[in-house]
Each structure stands twice: as C-alpha cells, then as structure tokens.
Structure 1
Amino acid sequence: MPHESRIPLSRLDPNAPLVLDTRALSRQPGSSREQTLNVPAPENFGVEMVGVPEGAELELDLRFESVLEGVLVTGTAWVPLEGECARCLDPIASTFEADFQELFVYPDTRSGGNADDDELRLEDDLIDLEPVLRDAVLLALPLSPLCRDDCPGLCSECGVRLADAGPDHHHDAADPRWAALQGITDLRERKQEG
C-alpha cells in the first residue's frame, strides 16, 4: 500500500542556467543583493511570428530581497528577438526589454506549507527563474509584430511588397459578375470597326 505522505522528487538542477542559488542572501527580512547575469535562452521562447532564438544571450539585472514569506525577485531582462513582419513577411530583428517581479516562498513557512499550486517555492535555497522570465517575455510580445508601424504589407493581387511597388501600383480587376457583359462590349467594338 503506498505511503500517503511522500514528498515528490521534483528537485531543481543547480547547473541549469536559470536556476539561481539564494544562499548568499540571509533569511533576515530586509537583506538584499543584486546580480547581473548573461544566460542562454531556453528553447521555445516565443510566439508564432516572433521569439528569442534558442541559445541566444539573455541579459538579466536582478535584485533579490529577503522578506518574511520568502525571496522577492525583481528584474529586467533584455532579450534578442527574431521573427517576421505580420504584414510584409520581412525578417525582424530587435532587442526587447521585459520587467518582472515574483515572490518565491520558503517551504517551511506557514505560507509555503499551504502555498497554492501557482505559487513558486524555493527548493533547497534554489529558485527557477525560467517560468517567471517566460511569462514576462511571452505575455509582452506582440502577436502581430511589424517591421515598422506604417508597414503597408503585401499586394492582395500579386503579392509584391507595397513599400517597394510605389503609389501607382494597382490591378484592373474586373468583377466576375460582369465578365459575361465584357464579351458584349468587345462584340460592339468589332462591329463599329468593321
């Protein structure tokens, strides 16, 4: 019969780039430290049309503060973005800045023992910053990125970039409902000529 009080073995990998050690920060509320990190981007770090290339360097400015319930992490991430314009499909490359703040609760406090599933906990004084960073960046990314605000997009008839085509680009498209009448006007013109 299984034992009901078993603790799940979900341990964090201390060698993972976004798993950070908080032992240097005392548990005394009010103590703090700052840290700047350059870490590689995890995989699948983006939305459909724009994202951070896997392994690209992320720059993080972090502040760790010890509070009564746990460790409050406040930070700013600068991430390189690559993707394509939603209107003209040209490649886009830029840098994006995302701010975040998250409380990691101590497992041995009353709050940590009764923490909700969505609350993040410290495990052996380690925190996993990846879910926090992923939420901060992905929720702020545009779903329809543009190469520039006034991008005219592509021509719906021929697919040429309207920015390159010029203002005189147009197509004489006949309404298919009038196509049968086109033959009548051609017949009249031939009668007048002959």
Structure 2
Amino acid sequence: MSAGSAARRRPASHGLQVGGFVLDVRSLGRRPGTMRELRREVTATERIGLDLVHIPEGAPIDLDLTLQAVSEGVLVTGTVSAPVAGECSRCLESFTDSVELSITELFAYPDSATEQTTEEDDVYRLVDDLVDLEPVVVDAIGLELPLRPLCTPDCAGLCPECGVRMAIAGSGHGHEILDPRWAGLAKFASDADVASPGPQDHPPSDRAADQARSRTEEK
C-alpha cells in the first residue's frame, strides 16, 4: 500500500463515473493474475499539493498504470507525473518543475477478507467494479513534494541586510556591519578628524608670526 496516512484516506463513494481518476476494472473479471495496462492523461480539477508547491488546477497529470487482479482485490501499480509550480522557501521567487512518483495500492473487493477485517479508512475499496484513484494520487503527491521547496538546489536566498536576491547580487555582495557597542566611539573619532586642522590649515596671522620670529632669530 502507499505511504499515505490512514487518517487522510477517503473510501470510494457511490455515484462514481468512469473517466479521469475513476477506472473501470470489470474486464479483469476477478481472475487472479489477470492484468491490464492503462495510460491516461487527467486534468487536475483543483490545486493538489502543499502551501509552497503544488500541481496547479488545470494541469495535465499523466497516469502510466498496471491493473492486476489478485485474490483480495485489484492491485494498482505504476507512475504518476505532472508539472508543479511553487515559491522558493529561500529567495521567495516563483518556479516551475515536474514531479514523478510511483504508486502501489490495493483496492479490496467488497466481500473479501481484507474488506471485512480492516477499518474503513485503512484500505481503499472497489465500488461497482470501479477504482477511484484520486485520493491515492492526492496522498502520494502530498508526501512526495518538499515542505521547503527550492528554485535551485544551491539557492543562496536573500541578503539578510537589504533583502536582495543573492543570485542577482553576486558573491561579492556584502555590508559593513559595525558593532553597536563601538558606534559612539566611531562617531567621536570622525568628529575629531574633522575638527583637527592640518598644517596647511593654520590661519594667515599664525603664519605671519612664525615668519617674523624666524627673521628675528636670523639677525
């Protein structure tokens, strides 16, 4: 069975119509070992996935499946692939990708030992020789997609100081950060540099006095 939690499983309901995720398995005839391959493209009628990454509504979902009759029901195996869209958890940029996953799920016959000895939410069931694959796909997609998706595996995220994307800013991007404990001292040093005149900053009167003293000493 799939790795989906039993709490999220939904038993098939009456009134199903063949098409989309609903498969007609009457051709298997409950003969153990009978197999049938099925390939189908299904359009997602709603968003499937997680908060930051999902299969968009209207996206095509490709099913490549093998249906096999076994003693307790119909075993469905194969792959599901679809495009996904998301938002990078590091840099917050939108991105697109694809997902492909494997499924293995038993759909129990209504009068089988499996159906009679398991809780309703612990196993999927056939209803009127129909398999409803949608809850299987929804569970599998939810487990396959990452909780913290990335636009690229090496995404550097955002600059913690200015918020620019590091992919745009480049490896040399950075900010000089002054320890706040030294901020006052740095300001004092800057003010002192401005206030202290250099040799060329002596007023004219001081230069005249120096020249007069020099001439007196020469005499």
Query: Normalized against structure 2, the TM-score is what?
Result: 0.79
Aligned to 2:213: none
Give me the whole-angstrom Cα distance separating, in 2, the residues matched to 1:160 and 1:193: 41
Aligned to 1:29: 32
Aligned to 2:217: none
Aligned to 2:111: 108
Aligned to 1:141: 145
Letter in 2 for 1:113: Q
Give me the whole-angstrom Cα distance separating, in 2, the residues matched to 1:175 and 1:25: 74
Tell whether the 8 Å contact from 1:79 to 1:97 is kept in structure 2 after alignment.
yes
Tell whether the 8 Å contact from 2:48 to 2:55 is kept in structure 1 after alignment.
yes
Give me the whole-angstrom Cα distance separating, in 2, the residues matched to 1:15 and 1:34: 16
Aligned to 2:63: 60
Which structure has the larger Rg? 2
User: Looking at both structures, which has the greater relative contact order when contacts are Cα pairs under 8 Å and sequence separation is at least 6?
Assistant: 2
Tell whether the 8 Å contact from 1:80 to 1:94 is kept in structure 2 after alignment.
yes
Give me the whole-angstrom Cα distance separating, in 2, the residues matched to 1:80 and 1:99: 15
Aligned to 1:51: 54
Listed as ranges, the gaps of 5+ residues in structure 1 are 1-8
Give me the whole-angstrom Cα distance separating, in 2, the residues matched to 1:15 and 1:30: 23
Listed as ranges, the gaps of 5+ residues in structure 2 are 1-11, 199-219
Q: Percent identity?
A: 48
1:10 to partner: Cα distance: 3.7
Tell whether the 8 Å contact from 1:12 to 1:19 is kept in structure 2 after alignment.
no
Letter in 1 for 2:170: G
Give me the whole-angstrom Cα distance separating, in 2, the residues matched to 1:27 and 1:110: 14
Distance verdict in 2 for CA 1:137–1:123, change over 3 Å: same
Tell whether the 8 Å contact from 2:18 to 2:24 is kept in structure 1 after alignment.
no
Alignment of 1:161-172 (within 5 A): 161-172=165-176
1:12 to partner: Cα distance: 4.2
Match among 163, 177, 181 for residue 185 of structure 2: 181
Tell whether the 8 Å contact from 1:29 to 1:67 is kept in structure 2 after alignment.
yes
Distance verdict in 2 for CA 1:32–1:16, change over 3 Å: closer
Q: Which string of whole-angstrom CA distances, capped at 9 and with x for unpartnered residues, describes residues 24-81 of structure 1?
A: 2110100010000100114231111111001211000010000000000001011100
Structure ranking higher in helix proportion: 2
Match among 121, 124, 140 for residue 125 of structure 2: 121
RMSD: 1.8
Give me the whole-angstrom Cα distance separating, in 1, the residues matched to 2:22 and 2:122: 18
Give me the whole-angstrom Cα distance separating, in 1, the residues matched to 2:83 and 2:72: 34
